[in-house]
């Protein structure tokens, strides 16, 4: 557990996603911001009991947005603590089972985008607990804080900002680790970065959201992914990052965003062709063919161990010199000792070699030297 600022603690779940314990209100009162992946409830409850006191519970669970890695344990925690779950109104369709988020874009690039092919469409049914954030920018149970609507990555994504010490909980509006790379995120290497690239459905909104947050000039930043950042130069660094926000160069939602409303997804741009599955299939076929060729070659090699080794050019020259267009093809089977012409020297009559030479796959440069039978036999 890391401390982001006074009374704010960051817990990282499975080295991947962060949630925050925030002391607010009267002494002993606190709220939980985000809930990690599904299956994280026991870890979060144990951490809260250790951080505050046994059998503690928050005043409420506030969600920055409803993605699987942030709302994954909300139901289990609300069941356990019997507290409300609070989120932005535009997240309600996705938190109450009415809609699923715009599909991830695996063509936008990066290892997270690659992995997104295997993430299922998601939606939660939290209607027994979920409540809407009030529209006055004041999050419940968090005096001294304000929330900011930062869409682009999720329709109703919100960030939380404490004005007193300019502390920002930035959600997935951006990240504090290189979030396009799963290994870099897991290593928690600090870096201001765009966040959740395959899941961001409106890049203009995403950039505008970051630029709005930069005007707050935060002195401490904790996001949904990446380590805590505290640096005297952080306001300037964040402003520079926002001014030069790294828009992706290609992807489904880069030129044309998805549109959402209070009922869910209203419009989706067409999906570009995802060529990876086809390329993976071709690679697999190639590998299987190569493996088959190696097995075949190995068997042939073991069969020809008794034959006298000779380089292929010697073999071809020898046969080219002796070959005659009138050579009669034998009807008998060629013995195994000459069945691998690329590595052996024929020991029998030349007419016992030619049928194998024309039948086996040898280097094409040698084929013109192989005499053909003018009678077409
Ligand atoms: Zn997200
Ligand atoms: Zn996330």
In the chain, the number of structural domains is 2
Q: Are residues 77 and 98 in the same domain?
A: yes
Same domain, 238 and 291: no
Whether residue 328 sits in one domain with residue 188:
no
In 55-137, beta strands by DSSP E: 61-62, 85-87, 130-132
State the pLDDT at residue 186: 79
Residue 111 lies in a domain: yes
C-beta separation of 157 from 212 below 8 A: no
Task: Say what the pLDDT of residue 277 is.
Answer: 62
Strands (E) located in 102-192: 130-132, 145-149, 158-162, 167-169
Would you call 364 helix, strand, or coil by DSSP?
A: helix
136 CB-near residues (< 8 Å, 6+ apart): none
Last residue of a domain, one of 245, 267, 289: 267
Position 115 scores a pLDDT of 78
What is the rounded CA–CA span in Å between residue 181 and residue 184?
5
Q: How far is the CA of 329 from the centre of ligand 1 (A)?
A: 73
Q: Is residue 43 part of a domain?
A: yes
pLDDT of 368 reads 41
375 inside domain: no
What residues have CB less than 8 Å from 13, skipping those under 6 apart? 19, 36, 37, 40, 43, 44
- Rounded to the nearest whole angstrom, what is the distance from the C-alpha of residue 3 to the centroid of ligand 2? 20
278: Cβ contacts below 8 Å, ≥ 6 apart: none
In which residue are the tokens 């690659």 written? 114
Q: Is 374 helix (H, G, I), strand (E, B) or coil?
A: coil
Domain boundary among 267, 290, 321: 267
Question: Do 256 and 307 share a domain, yes or no?
Answer: no
Q: How many Å apart are CA 377 and CA 366, to the nearest integer?
A: 21
Q: pLDDT value at position 272?
A: 83
Q: State the Cα–Cα distance between residues 103 and 116, nearest whole angstrom.
A: 9
Q: What residues are neighbours of ligand 2 (ion), with CB under 5 Å?
A: 69, 172, 224
Q: Are residues 253 and 327 in the same domain?
A: no
Domain hosting residue 291, numbered range: 276-369
Nearest ligand by distance to the CA of 157: 1
198 and 289 inside one domain: no
Q: Look at residue 336 in the predicted model and tell me its pLDDT.
A: 38
Q: What is the pLDDT of residue 286?
A: 65
pTM (whole model) above 0.85: no
Sheet arrangement for strand 220-222 = 145-149, 158-162, 167-169, 220-222, 229-230
8 Å CB contact between 76 and 146: no
* Tokens representing residue 352 in the block: 């016992």
CATH of the domain at 49: 3.60.15.10
Tell me the CA–centroid distance for residue 248 and ligand 2, in Å: 18
User: How far, in Å, is the centroid of ligand 2 from the Cα of 180?
Assistant: 12
Q: How far, in Å, is the centroid of ligand 2 from the Cα of 33?
A: 13
Per-residue pLDDT of the chain (377 residues; tens, 9 = 90+): 999 999 999 999 988 899 999 999 999 999 999 999 999 999 999 999 999 999 999 999 999 999 999 999 999 999 999 999 999 999 999 999 999 999 999 998 777 778 778 777 678 999 999 999 999 999 999 999 999 999 999 999 999 999 999 999 999 999 999 877 778 777 888 999 998 889 999 999 999 999 999 999 999 999 999 999 999 999 999 999 999 999 999 999 998 999 999 999 999 999 888 766 656 666 666 666 677 666 666 676 666 555 544 443 433 333 444 333 443 344 333 333 333 333 333 333 333 333 333 333 444 444 444 444 444 43
SS3 of 151, please? coil
- Residue 295 inside a domain? The answer is yes
Contacts with 321 (C-beta within 8 Å, 6 or more apart), sequence order: none
The contacts of residue 129 (CB under 8 Å, 6+ apart) are 61, 74, 75, 78, 83, 84, 85
> Alpha-carbon torsion 193, 101, 109, 180, what sign?
positive
Q: Among the bound ligands, name the one nearest to the CA of residue 17.
A: 2
In this structure, are residues 150 and 158 in contact, taking their beta carbons and an 8 Å threshold?
A: yes
Query: From ligand 1's centre to the CA of 169, what distance in Å?
Result: 13
Residues 124, 75: contact at Cβ < 8 Å? yes
Structure-block tokens of residue 205: 């909104």
Is residue 377 assigned to a domain? Answer: no
Question: How far is ligand 2, taken at its centre, from the CA of residue 195, in Å?
Answer: 8
| pLDDT given for residue 303 in this prediction | 64
| Alpha carbon distance 253, 242 (integer Å) | 19
Is 222 found in the same domain as 301?
no
Amino acid 314: pLDDT: 36
Residues 75 and 166 in one domain: yes
Query: Nearest bound ligand to CA 94?
Result: 1
Please answer whether residues 254 and 247 qualify as being in contact, where contact means their C-beta atoms are separated by less than 8 angstroms.
yes
Distance 179 CA to ligand 2 centre (A): 9
- 90, 222: one domain: yes
246 shares its domain with 326:
no
What is the distance in A from the centroid of ligand 2 to the CA of 11?
14
Distance 208 CA to ligand 1 centre (A): 17
Are 18 and 225 spatial neighbours (Cβ–Cβ below 8 Å)? Answer: yes
Query: Does 133 lie in the same domain as 20?
Result: yes
Q: Exposed, middle or buried by CB within 10 Å (0-12, 13-18, 19+), for 169?
A: buried
246 plus 351 within the same structural domain: no
Q: Which of 219, 234, 267 is the last residue of a domain?
A: 267
């Amino acid at each position: 557990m890391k401390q982001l600022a006074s009374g704010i603690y960051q817990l990282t779940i499975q080295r991947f996603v962060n949630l925050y314990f925030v002391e607010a209100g009267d002494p002993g009162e606190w709220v939980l911001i985000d809930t990690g992946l599904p299956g994280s409830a026991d870890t979060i409850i144990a951490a809260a009991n250790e951080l505050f006191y046994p059998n503690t519970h928050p005043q409420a669970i506030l969600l920055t947005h409803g993605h699987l890695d942030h709302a994954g344990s909300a139901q289990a925690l609300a069941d356990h603590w019997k507290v409300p779950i609070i989120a932005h109104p535009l997240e309600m369709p996705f938190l109450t089972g009415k809609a699923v988020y715009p599909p991830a874009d695996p063509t936008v690039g990066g290892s997270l985008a690659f992995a997104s092919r295997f993430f299922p469409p998601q939606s939660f049914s939290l209607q027994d607990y979920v409540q809407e954030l009030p529209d006055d920018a004041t999050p419940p149970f968090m005096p001294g804080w304000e929330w900011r609507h930062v869409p682009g990555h999720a329709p109703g994504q919100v960030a939380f900002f404490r004005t007193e010490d300019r502390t920002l909980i930035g959600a997935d509006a951006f990240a504090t680790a290189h979030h396009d790379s799963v290994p870099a995120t897991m290593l928690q290497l600090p870096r201001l970065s765009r966040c959740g690239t395959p899941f961001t459905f409106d890049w203009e909104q995403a950039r505008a959201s970051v630029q709005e947050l930069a005007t707050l000039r935060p002195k401490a930043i904790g996001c949904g992914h990446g380590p805590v950042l505290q640096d005297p130069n952080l306001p300037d660094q964040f402003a520079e990052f926002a001014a030069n926000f790294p828009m992706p160069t290609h992807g489904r939602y880069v030129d044309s965003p998805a549109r959402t409303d209070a009922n869910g997804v209203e419009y989706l741009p067409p999906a570009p062709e995802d060529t990876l599955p086809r390329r993976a299939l071709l690679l697999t076929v190639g590998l299987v063919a190569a493996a088959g060729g190696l097995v075949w070659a190995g068997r042939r090699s073991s069969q020809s161990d008794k034959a006298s080794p000779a380089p292929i050019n010697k073999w071809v020259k020898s046969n080219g010199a002796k070959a005659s267009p009138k050579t009669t093809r034998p009807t008998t089977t060629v013995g195994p000792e000459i069945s691998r012409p690329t590595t052996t020297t024929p020991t029998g009559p030349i007419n016992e070699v030619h049928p194998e030479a024309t039948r086996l796959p040898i280097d094409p440069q040698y084929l013109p030297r192989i005499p053909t039978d003018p009678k077409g036999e």
